[in-house]
Structure 1
Amino acid sequence: MTLLLVDLNGAEQGAIIKHNKEESAPILLFLHGGPGFPAYPLIKANDVRLEDVFTVCYWDQRGTGSSYKAAEGGKLLTLEQLLDDTVEMIAFLRETYGQEKIYVLGHSWGSILGTLAAQKVPEHIHAYIGVGQIGIQFESEKEAYEFLVSEASRRADEKAKRKLARIKFDEEYYLNRAYGAVRFKYARKYDIGFTRDGYSNLRLIREVMGCSEYRWKDKFHVFAGSDLSYQKLAKEISTANLIRTVPELKVPAYFLHGQYDYHTTYQQACNFYTALEAPVKQFHTFAESAHSPFLEEPKKFIKLLKTIREAVES
C-alpha cells in the first residue's frame, strides 16, 4: 500500500487506501481527529483491520502529515475550508470507485467534519458513523475538568489537587497552555486519556516514524501539522455546538462511544444523539474504552461496523 496524492480544491493532499478483498466493497472515509493528527499510523501499528468490512480511505486532512503544505502556513486551516475538502474527497471517492454513496466515519475533531458533511451532501452518504462524537464541546470540557477535580479528591492526590486549584478554567480554556498541560497529565493518570491504558508521546512518535507508507517529510510534518492545526482550529472545536447547528441528518447515524471518554464526553455525545433527528439512529457504548474504541476494543468495533453495513444494505 502506498501514499495516494489527490488534488482537492487546488491543493495536493495525501490519502492511504486499504482495500477490502471484495472488489465492489463500499467505501469508508475515515476522518481523523487531532485536529491535524492522522489515524492511519496508529491503526496500522495496532493491526486494526477496518478493511475487513470496507475499502477504507485514510485521508490526511489539509495541514496534516502528507497534506501539510496544503495549509499554506495555516492560512487555509479553517472549518469552512476543511469541510469543502471533505465534500471534495467524498466526490473523488465516489467517482474513482464508481459508487453512488460512501460511508463517512468521523473521530473526535473529525466528527465535526463528518456530521457537517452528512448534513451538506446526504445524497452522497450511506450512513454517518460518529466515534468520540462531539456535541457541545465546552460542556464536555467542563465535565472533564470537574471529573479531574473530583477524582483527585477521591484519590487524595494532593499534588493534583494543588495543580488543579491553581489553574483557571473558563470558556477560553483552549488558550490556556497551563490548563492544557495539567489536563493532559491527569487525564492520562486517571485512565481517561486518548486510551484508558495511556498512549505515551513516545509510543505516538514510534508509530508515526515506523509508518512505511509515509515519506520521511510526512512523518515530521505529522507533529508540525498537529501543532499548527490546533493553533488555527482550537476555537472552532472548543465553541462547537452541534446540537444547535445540526438538529437533523437525512442519513442513518450511528454513534460509537467509549464510556470513559473525557476528551469528548459520553454524556455530551448522548445529549447530541438524543436531540438529533435522523431516519435511523443508534448509540453503542464501549464499556472498556475512553476516546478511541477502535484501538481499545477493536474486535467489538469491527463486528459493529459489519452489523452497520448489513443494516444499511438490507
Structure 2
Amino acid sequence: MALQLVDLNGAQQGVIMKHNKDKAAPILLFLHGGPGFPAYPLIKAHGVQLEQEFTVCYWDQRGTGSSYKAAEGGKLLTLEQLLADTLELIAFLRKTYDKEKIYVLGHSWGSILGTMAAQKVPEQLHAYIGVGQIGIQFESEKEAYDFLVSEADRRSDERAKRKLARKKFDKSYYQNRAYGAVRFKYTNKYAVGFTRDGYNSSRLIREVMVCPEYRWIDKFNIFAGSGLSYQRLAKEISTINLIRTVPELEVPVFFLHGQYDYQTTYQQAYNFYTSLKAPVKQFHTFSESAHSPFLEEPKKFINLLKTIRETVAS
C-alpha cells in the first residue's frame, strides 16, 4: 500500500501499511531507529516480508521522511513528544483495525519508544518486541569503543589505533561528530555495525532513492530529518537508563539481538533483560547478525515472530 498521512497529535505523519492476507491477523507497529531514519526502504530493498505474520505499520516518526514537517524545525523533536505520538498511533491502529491489542516492535532508538510505550499502555499491547534493544546507552557506547580499540590492536590495524586514540571516548561523545565518523567507519570495517556486511552511505542512499512508496521530497527529507533528529535527541538517547526507569513491564517481552551488535551492544541488552520483570520474557540470539537481524537473518526472524505469536496466544 502507498504511503498515507494520518493525524497524530495535530501533525500529519506518514505510515505505510503492509497487510497480511488474513484480515484477522494481528497488527505490528514497527518503531524505526536512527533516530530519524525509517526502516521501510531497507526492509523493502532486502525483500523482507514481515507481513507473512502480521499486518505491519511502518511509521515515519515526527521529523522523519514523510513526517519531516511535523518536527516544526526541530522544536517538537523530544522524547516526550515522540512517545505521545507513539501512543496516539497505537490508539489509531486499534480503532482503525478494530483490535483490542496490538504488537509493538522497537528497533534501536525505537526500542526506547517501544519500551516506554509498553510501560504506559500495557493493556493495549499483546507484547513488546525489542530488536537492537537499548538499556543503558552510555555503557553500551563505552563497551563498543573498548571493543574497537581491542580489535584494532588484535588486528595490528595501526591506522585504526591512531584514529581511535585521537578520538577519545567520554561522556559528551554524542556531541563529537569526528568521534561518530570514526566509530561508524570501524564498526563497519570490523563487521559489528548496522549489518555484518557493512552499510555505507552510498548503499543507504541507493536503497532510499529506489523506494517507490516515497515521493522525491520524502526521500530527501529522510536525510535531512536524520541529521536534525540526531541533533535534537542525541543527549536524551545517550543518557537514557532503562534499567532504572523501566524496572518492570506488564506485558510479554521478547528481545531479539544480534550477537555481533556493537551499535547497541548484546551485553547491555542482556543486562536490561535480566533486570526486567515481566509476566513472560525471552531473549533470542541471532548468531550471524550485528544490529539488524531482520535484514541479516530474515527467515529466522520471521519464523521467530510466528513463534512469538503462538507463545502469546497460548
Shorter-chain TM-score bucket reads over 0.9
The separation in 2 between residues aligned to 1:52 and 1:26, in whole angstroms, is: 11
The separation in 2 between residues aligned to 1:213 and 1:158, in whole angstroms, is: 44
The separation in 2 between residues aligned to 1:202 and 1:195, in whole angstroms, is: 15
Deviation, 1:306, is 0.2
Aligned position for 1:292:
292
Deviation, 1:177, is 1.1
Q: Letter of the 1:307 partner, please give it.
A: T
Deviation, 1:24, is 1.1
- Percent of paired sites with the same residue: 82
Aligned position for 2:133:
133
The separation in 1 between residues aligned to 2:8 and 2:286, in whole angstroms, is: 35
Deviation, 1:311, is 1.0
Aligned position for 1:193:
193
The separation in 2 between residues aligned to 1:43 and 1:180, in whole angstroms, is: 25
Q: Which runs of 5+ in 1 are unaligned?
A: none
The separation in 2 between residues aligned to 1:163 and 1:98, in whole angstroms, is: 54
Deviation, 1:84, is 0.1
Aligned position for 2:163:
163
Deviation, 1:270, is 0.4
In the alignment, is residue 57 of structure 1 matched against residue 57 of structure 2? yes
Deviation, 1:200, is 1.6
- Partner SS for 2:94: helix
Deviation, 1:168, is 2.1
Aligned position for 1:5:
5
Counterparts of 1:57-136 in structure 2, within 5 Å, are 57-136=57-136
Aligned position for 1:18:
18
- Partner SS for 2:23: coil
The separation in 2 between residues aligned to 1:227 and 1:82, in whole angstroms, is: 16
The separation in 1 between residues aligned to 2:68 and 2:184, in whole angstroms, is: 25
Q: TM-score, normalised by structure 2?
A: 0.99
Q: Which runs of 4+ in 1 moved over 6 A?
A: none
Render the CA deviation track for 1:92-144: whole Å, top value 9, x for unaligned.
Answer: 00000000000000000000000000000001000000000000000000000
- Partner SS for 1:257: strand
Aligned position for 1:224:
224
- Partner SS for 1:103: strand
- Partner SS for 1:129: strand
The separation in 1 between residues aligned to 2:12 and 2:2, in whole angstroms, is: 15
The separation in 1 between residues aligned to 2:165 and 2:2, in whole angstroms, is: 49
Q: Letter of the 2:25 partner, please give it.
A: A
- Partner SS for 1:196: coil
Q: Letter of the 1:156 partner, please give it.
A: S
- Partner SS for 1:25: coil
Deviation, 1:216, is 1.0
Render the CA deviation track for 1:209-241: whole Å, top value 9, x for unaligned.
Answer: 111111111000000000000000001110010
Superposition CA RMSD, Å: 0.5
Q: Letter of the 2:73 partner, please give it.
A: G
Aligned position for 2:202:
202
In the alignment, is residue 151 of structure 1 matched against residue 151 of structure 2? yes
Deviation, 1:167, is 1.3
Q: TM-score, normalised by structure 1?
A: 0.99
- Partner SS for 2:180: helix
- Partner SS for 2:212: coil
Aligned position for 1:250:
250
Aligned position for 2:307:
307
Q: Letter of the 1:30 partner, please give it.
A: F
Q: Letter of the 1:286 partner, please give it.
A: F
The separation in 2 between residues aligned to 1:83 and 1:169, in whole angstroms, is: 29
Aligned position for 2:34:
34
The separation in 1 between residues aligned to 2:74 and 2:200, in whole angstroms, is: 27
Render the CA deviation track for 1:253-309: whole Å, top value 9, x for unaligned.
Answer: 000000000010000000000000000000000000000000000000000000000
- Partner SS for 2:198: coil
Counterparts of 1:252-291 in structure 2, within 5 Å, are 252-291=252-291
The separation in 2 between residues aligned to 1:164 and 1:220, in whole angstroms, is: 32
Render the CA deviation track for 1:4-60: whole Å, top value 9, x for unaligned.
Answer: 100000000000000000011100000000000000000011000000000000000
- Partner SS for 2:207: helix
Deviation, 1:178, is 1.3
The separation in 2 between residues aligned to 1:226 and 1:110, in whole angstroms, is: 13
